[in-house]
Structures are given as C-alpha cells and as structure tokens.
Structure 1
Amino acid sequence: MSSAAATLKQQKEDFVSNLSGGPVGEIHAVAFVAPVAVLLWSVLQSRQSFFQRYGLLAFTVDYFLNVVAILLAKTLYSDFPLLLSLLLAVPATLVYVLPPNAVSPKRKPKVPPSADSKNKLDPLPLKPFLTSYRSFMLISTIIAILAVDFRLFPRRFAKVETWGTSLMDLGVGSFVFSAGVVAARPVLKERAEGRSMPWIRRILGSLRHSIPLLVLGIIRLLSVKGLDYAEHVSEYGVHWNFFFTLGLLPPFVAASQAALAFVPSHAALALLISGSYQMLLETTDLKAYILTAPRVDLISMNREGIYSFIGYLAIFLAGQDLGMFVIPRKLNPRSNSSAGVQRNTLIMTLAVWTGVWCGLYALSTNYKYGFALVVSRRLANLPYMLWVAAFNSALVLALCVIDSIFFPAFYNAADPKSEKEAYLTATSRILRAYNRNGLALFLLANLLTGFVNMTMNTLEANPLVTVVILVAYTLAVTSAAVLLDSYNISIRV
C-alpha cells in the first residue's frame, strides 16, 4: 500500500472514531423526526387520500417524508432537529384542518390475490405501525453507514470510542432490538398452534438463519482485509463484525428459550443476562480485559465483539418481549372486548413498558440515587441495553398512537379483505418495500457504501456534494426496494 493510501486510510479511521458522543436529548430529538414525518404522511393519506394513486408525485413525497427527512435530520438539520420536526408538523396541522377528501371505491388499494377470502381474522396480523417501525430502523442504518464517512455528518453522532451515547450507537442496538420484535412471531405462532419444539431441534433449526449471516460476515471480513478498507478495531475487534453478531443470535436465542420455564418473561431473562454481565464487569477484571488487554490471540483480538454479544443478546430478548404483546391481535386471546378497547389496552401496555425501561435506565445511570453507570456500546453493558429498550419502546408507542388516531379502520376491520385494504392504506409504499426485503437492501447499501469510499475521498466533499451523493445513494436503494416490491419479489437471505 502506498504512503498516500495509508495516510488516507488512517485519516478515515481517525475521522469515524468519536470519543464523547452527544447528549441523549439531542439524539432522541433527531431520531424522533421519523414519527413526525409519519404524522404528516398519515394526515395526507387519511384526510386527502394523497397516496392512493401511487404515481411519480406520490413516490416523490413518500420518499421525501420517509427517507430524505431522516437524512436531513442527520446532516443539514443536525443542529436543529426540533426545527425540522416543526417544519413537518406545521403542514400536517394545516392539511388536517382542510376538509377531508372522501375515498371513492375506484381508488381503494387493490388486495393481492393471495388475500384470505374467509371471515376468520389472522390472530397475528401485519400491523402498519410495526411495518413503519422496522423500516425506519433499516432506513436510518442505511443512511448512517455512508453518511458517517462525510464531514457533514456530525462527529457526535458517530460511534463513541468507549463511554457515552451517540446516534449510531443507538442505531446499532435498535437494529438488534427490531430483529427481536420480529422474532416473536414464530414463537407466538407455535404457541397458537399448540406446538412445542424440542430444545435441540429448535437450535438446529435456528442455524438455517445463522449460516447466511455468518457467511456474509466472512465475506465482509475478507473484503475489508483484502481491500485494506478503513476500520476501527476497538468497535468489534480485529476480525469480528456486526454480521457475526447477528449470525450468532438465533442459536443463542433458541437455547435461551429453555430458561423461560423458570423465568417469567423474555424481558426478565434480558434483565437477568444483562444484569449478570454488568456484575461481572464491575466485580472482576473483565472490564479491564475488554478495554485494555493486548491483542495476542484470537479471543483477545476480538474481545469487544465476543463480550458485547452478551449485551446484544439481552437487547434481542427485550425486543422479543415487546413483540410478544405488540404482534398479536389481542393481548388476551380469551378477551371478548371490542377492537377499540383492545387497541387502547395495547397503547397503555406500551406506555407502561416504556416507563419501566426509562425508569430502569434512570436508576442505572443516576449518580445521586442510582448506580452511576455509564452507557457503553463497546461493552454493550446494562445501561446501554436499558437505553435501547426504552427508546425503541417509546418509538413503537408513538407510531402506534399515530396509527390508531388516523387509521382506525385497520383495527376495526371485520374480515381479512377489509383488513388488508386498511393495512395497504395505512402504510407507506416505500416503508412496506423496505420491510419486505430488509436484509437484501442492507447488503446493497453496504456494497454502495464501499463503492463510494473506493471511488472518492469523502472527507473532501463539501456540503452540497455530500447531500447530492447521499440523496442519489438513498434513492438508488429506495428504487430497488420499490422495484422488487412491484414485481412481488422477496429475497430471503
């Protein structure tokens, strides 16, 4: 490698690393631009049927609200996230006070031929607010992995070195949390059918989801080392990467299911695992080993990735716990209460759990009345797990409230056909497309990120060039998502 290339690589490694992060309040203000964008989208759709006929104009507005707004929050409006939220909320208010535009029968969304024609509703339906939540997690991640290489992306949003909070630290944990939410569906389906899979068979079956991710991890490892791509070793270690963490989660989660015979819930198990890990960090030399040990063998070279996996496992289980009561149609299958009461109960349950996670986070980090712990994504310690769980529960709650206010037809649907129509009406076409092929789009984004970094010096790009590149990048990934959805293609990795 030439000296110039080595210097550029070192500059990028130093640039993407950050020591202190940013304040939690600012991070949350940036992240909550997404539900404000959903609010404007929902008002346009519910009051004016703006996205019923999905042409170029509808796609453009959809893309601006659900992708570009998040991009702006992390770049040009990074210092003014509340202003950006206000710029989205004001038109939402103006559109809401306008007379509604009634939807004519000809403009109702077409239900795919596969929709169930029977009157029995699915006990585990697809819910608009969960589609929006999962898609926003993916879109935020896709934007950040390239934006972080440009100077327009604030350094306080980049991953911290060891202690503190940042937007990308929250994003990594949220990606795992959202995966946990989805992982509750097969468990719920198994319970609804009265099946109980043997422990060993469950672990072996989980390998089907692990192997592709582990292969991707190996491919990324070889490509990073082979192309001499800039990397920060203290993030996961010398050889470890995020794909290895994702790939190892399914078998460990499957193995942990046996503990539910003794532990009351997934949340309790998450707290038990994370709390035990925190005790080891505080009472043994484990913390010093992870942070300062020389890299002399395979384990010490990858100690951050290996030990932080414990925290990510707890985050996954916390997400799975939320999925256990958010995904089902009814919190109590035996309840005969109305759909409106069921939805109100769900909102109240989400609010309670949001309060629980926020309270535990405050207790763990408060210096005067709590344990005075500091968040560390590098360790994936207890306060990090609690922070991620609290934020994601609050985000799901916000999206659920918006969904309930503007699209009551979904949860009041009396048959599968009307429910499917209501679901299509209540969800963005772009967000549905991202949700459908999430991992494939994430891989595409990684490839495009590598391509951009190898073809230009991102550190020299001015704000205008940066925004143009990031818009072109997100537009390419979004177009691929919508194109795959248009041809009814689902890529399972």
Structure 2
Amino acid sequence: MTMDSPASTFNPNKRLKEEFVSNLKGASMMELFLLITTLSMLLFLRSVYSSTKKGPNSAEALSKKDDVIKAVVCKKNMGSYLAAATLDVLCIVFPAILCVTILADWTYINAVVMTLLVVFFILPRRSGFSVSQEEGARSLRTNISAYRVAMNFLTCVCILAVDFKIFPRRYAKTETYDGHWSRFVYCGKCIGFTTSTWNCKNVHVGEYGVHWNFFFTLAAVAILTSMINLPPSYCGILGWFILVVYEVSLLLGLNEYLISNERGHDIISQNKEGIFSIFGYWGMYLVCVQLGNYLFFGKPGDAVLRTNNWARIRVWIICLLFWLLTVFLDWHVERVSRRMCNLAYVTIVLAMNLQVFAVLTLADYVPGYKVAALIEFFDRNLLVSFLLANVLTGMVNLSMDTLSASPFVALAILVGYAYILSIAAAVAHFYGIRLKFW
C-alpha cells in the first residue's frame, strides 16, 4: 500500500483536483482591468437604480417618504429583508457569477456594455446636481462599506467557483507569475483549492511551501506591525522602504532561489516562498495604511472636504498611476508574482482595489443614491460570512465531484450557494446579530 492510499480512498479525485488548479498562467492585465470594471459597475448600477426609477421611488419622491421608510424599518418585516436579499442576488450576484463563468469569453464586450449603461445613468442626471458636504461624508462611508463587502463577497463566490470547470483557469490562482484577478488583497483574497494532503511524493508542495498557510502570513504581518508604533502618515515611508529593499534582494538572486524546485530539509527552505513573501505583504499593508489615511482622513479641519470631491479625484488619479507603474515594472523590472509578493504584485493589487473603489464613487453623482440592501446585510458580519462560505465550500467539495459537474449544475450550485450566504446575512441583520472574534 502506498503512502497516498488512505487519502486516495477518502478522496479518489484528490490528485485530479490538484492538477486542475496547478500550473496555471493567469489572464492578461487588460482583461483583469476590464473584468474588475464590469463587476464594480454591476454594484454601482444596482445601488443607483432605486434613485433613478420613475414614480413613487424616484429621487424626487425620496424626501417625501422619509417618515414612511423609517416606519417600515422600525417594523422590521422579515419578509422584506428576504425579498431585498433575493432581489440583490438576482441583480448583482447572478450577473457577477455569469461574468466570471459562462460569459468570461465576452469580457471585453461586457465591459463596453456596462460602461455605456453607467454613462446613461449618470449624464442625464448630472446636470444641476451637486453633492453636498453632508451627503459626501455619508457617501464616502457608504462607498467604503460597499467596497469591503464587494471584495469579501466576490472572494466567497470564487473560493467555490474555482473548483468547477465553468470557472476559467486563467482566473484561478497561479503558482508562479500571476494574472489572477480574484486575489485583489490578502485580507479578502480568493484562496481557491489548497491542500497539504499526501501524494506520491510524500507531501504536496503548495504555493507558499510545504507547511505554509497564508494565514501564517497574516499573523506575521500583524505581529510585525504591532512591534512598531508609527503614525499612519509614516507607515507608507517604511512600507515603500521595505518593498524597495525586498525587490532589490529579489533582483540580486533571491527570486531564483524562491522559484526553484530545490528544497532542503530545514523549515526555511521548505517554506521559503511563504517566509520571504512576508516582507512584500507587510510592506503592502503599511502602504495601504498610509494611503487610507491620506485619501480619507487628514487634518480635522479638512475632514469633511476629504469625503467628497477631494477623495474621489485623488482615488482615480492614484489608481491610474498604480496601473501605469505596474505595467512598467512588469515589462522592465520583474513579472508580477504573487508567490513572491514582489513590487509589481503590490502595485497591481493596489491598482485593482483602488479601481473598485473609484467606480463606486461615481454613485455620488446620482441624486438619491441608495446603497444595496446586500451591502448593509454583509457589512455587519464580514468575517462570519467568509467563514460560513468556507464551510459551505468544504461541504460542496465533500459531497460531489465538482470536476464532472455540467455547466448548468455548476451554475445552479454557485447561485444557490450565494443565495444561502445572502439569506444568512439578511437573517443575522434582521435579528441584530453581530459576531466578532476580537
């Protein structure tokens, strides 16, 4: 009996799944850019739809219905919560799943269509409308929540979708150079199918080594950050210094060591990618802290100003600069590599995240902007929702052979899975449940 017999008996398709998610090349930067744009605009269109409808739900009638709306909220009708979650699943989640599965080959066309729709919604209603400072402050907080929920929910969808053939392999995570769209940030990343089970070579070497899990990286970043006590405005200086030094080390030969298949018996050699990439992720985190402070906060006297046009314009400018920097680094310095978390990977992660937020800020130009109900539901329990998604993903993988599922069955499972997550979030919100683990 071979070493992998027990595992093979428990999961006969284990090796097929490992091969299914291994040796992937990723998508192009242009496709990533357009796909992110499309998915962001889906949420944007759903959020502004209620403000642009004619009749009693139009923007002009919202102010007249404040008392009625407050009364409905106080009544807390479970049916209305479930109906709102169902509607958002149909208008946001279902189209998003289609875009990353059966409509993936139409990404360029999808992006053009969505852009035209956004222009159609904004331009006719932009004339004579300006965002007040009070509305701008509320809008920025709303956009931040929408961004966080969007990243979390897309991650939840992808950790299951990646196990089906309906999900294009170019969108799944790669093990060397990365064109993987769904891993925007490590706090809301697509983990996909990972394993440390036995195979014919004794152990499966994952993307970060033999024993390493990405949660070890998160813990290391948290520990290193807690050891310093820098103001947010200085975190960026330290972060860029770490990233530059780390990138220079990679170019001087560290990158060849990290991507080589040779491993010693010591713990560092066996988990070299995971250990050394900590510097890249730590630098990224520090830069994000400084960027967030610069874009959304600042001096107390400027707090209101930085919640509307100030932040919106700079988000778009910085997003464009990071995309240009990514192209330059990828072409002339070193290819984007998630496995090493090099400088090009950091800049593309920042560019994609800022792109999502930038698209969401366009909703400020639509009168009567109203956030989607699904955003409010998930915003209360993001971590719990992510943990539930992982549990459901495990249940699906243990109960069926995802590789043999037909496109229709795969699509039905993904939509049902997303609907269960949405209903769970709606029920938790209805009962005022908010679970935290810190």
Would the TM-score normalized by the shorter structure come out above 0.5? yes
1:382-407 deviations in Å (ceiling 9; x for gaps): 100011111212221221222x2125
Asked whether 1:362 is paired with 2:327, we answer yes
The letter for the 2-side match of 1:434 is F
Distance 1:89 1:8 in 2: 42
Match of 1:426 among 359, 363, 370: 370
Partner of 2:90: 64
Q: Retained in 2: the 8 A contact 1:277–1:310?
A: yes
Distance 1:310 1:473 in 2: 36
Q: Retained in 2: the 8 A contact 1:32–1:395?
A: yes
How far apart are 1:93 and its partner, in Å? 6.8
Q: Retained in 1: the 8 A contact 2:81–2:430?
A: no
TM-score by length of structure 2 reads 0.80
Match of 2:154 among 140, 143, 146: 140
- 3-state SS of paired residue (1:233): coil
The letter for the 2-side match of 1:470 is L
How far apart are 1:278 and its partner, in Å? 1.0
Distance 1:15 1:426 in 2: 41
Partner of 2:14: 9
Percent sequence identity over aligned pairs: 29
Match of 1:440 among 377, 381, 384: 384
Matches within 5 A, 1:66-465: 66-85=92-111, 127-168=141-182, 170-173=183-186, 175=188, 233-258=205-230, 265-285=234-254, 287-289=256-258, 291-328=260-297, 331-335=298-302, 343-367=308-332, 371=333, 373-402=334-363, 404-406=364-366, 426-465=370-409
Q: Which runs of 5+ in 1 are unaligned?
A: 100-119, 177-216, 410-424
Distance 1:132 1:151 in 2: 29
1:188-244 deviations in Å (ceiling 9; x for gaps): xxxxxxxxxxxxxxxxxxxxxxxxxxxxx9xx99x9659xxxx96331222221222
Partner of 1:34: 39
Asked whether 1:25 is paired with 2:30, we answer yes
How far apart are 1:348 and its partner, in Å? 2.2
1:430-454 deviations in Å (ceiling 9; x for gaps): 1122222111111111111111111
Q: Retained in 2: the 8 A contact 1:131–1:427?
A: no
Q: Retained in 2: the 8 A contact 1:318–1:389?
A: no
Partner of 2:412: 468
1:386 to 1:396, Cα distance in 2 relative to 1, 3 A: same
- 3-state SS of paired residue (1:275): helix
Distance 1:173 1:307 in 2: 15
How far apart are 1:316 and its partner, in Å? 1.6
1:481 to 1:291, Cα distance in 2 relative to 1, 3 A: farther
Distance 1:236 1:124 in 2: 41
1:449-477 deviations in Å (ceiling 9; x for gaps): 11111111100001000001111111111
The letter for the 2-side match of 1:353 is I
Q: Retained in 2: the 8 A contact 1:36–1:88?
A: yes
Q: Retained in 2: the 8 A contact 1:43–1:96?
A: no
- 3-state SS of paired residue (1:377): coil
Q: Retained in 2: the 8 A contact 1:436–1:490?
A: yes
The letter for the 2-side match of 1:147 is A
Q: Retained in 1: the 8 A contact 2:27–2:179?
A: yes
Matches within 5 A, 1:45-56: 45-48=50-53, 49=57, 54=80
- 3-state SS of paired residue (1:235): coil
Partner of 1:184: none
Distance 1:276 1:84 in 2: 40
The letter for the 2-side match of 1:136 is A
Q: Which runs of 5+ in 2 are unaligned?
A: 63-68, 73-79, 126-133
Distance 1:174 1:387 in 2: 15
How far apart are 1:166 and its partner, in Å? 1.5
1:44 to 1:90, Cα distance in 2 relative to 1, 3 A: same
The letter for the 1-side match of 2:342 is N
Q: Retained in 1: the 8 A contact 2:84–2:373?
A: no
Q: Retained in 2: the 8 A contact 1:66–1:431?
A: no
The letter for the 2-side match of 1:151 is K
How far apart are 1:13 and its partner, in Å? 0.3
Partner of 2:131: none
The structure with higher relative contact order (CA 8 Å, sep 6+) is 2
Q: Retained in 2: the 8 A contact 1:311–1:379?
A: yes
- 3-state SS of paired residue (2:39): helix
1:311-364 deviations in Å (ceiling 9; x for gaps): 111222222223213443xx442249xx67861111222233223323332332
Distance 2:324 2:229 in 1: 26
1:273-320 deviations in Å (ceiling 9; x for gaps): 111111111114464145333151222222222111221112222222
The letter for the 1-side match of 2:365 is I
Give the stretch that moved more between structures: 478-487 or 350-359.
Answer: 350-359
The letter for the 1-side match of 2:188 is F
TM-score by length of structure 1 reads 0.72
Q: How large is the Cα RMSD of the aligned pairs?
A: 3.6
The letter for the 2-side match of 1:246 is L
How far apart are 1:6 and its partner, in Å? 6.2
Q: Retained in 1: the 8 A contact 2:81–2:427?
A: no
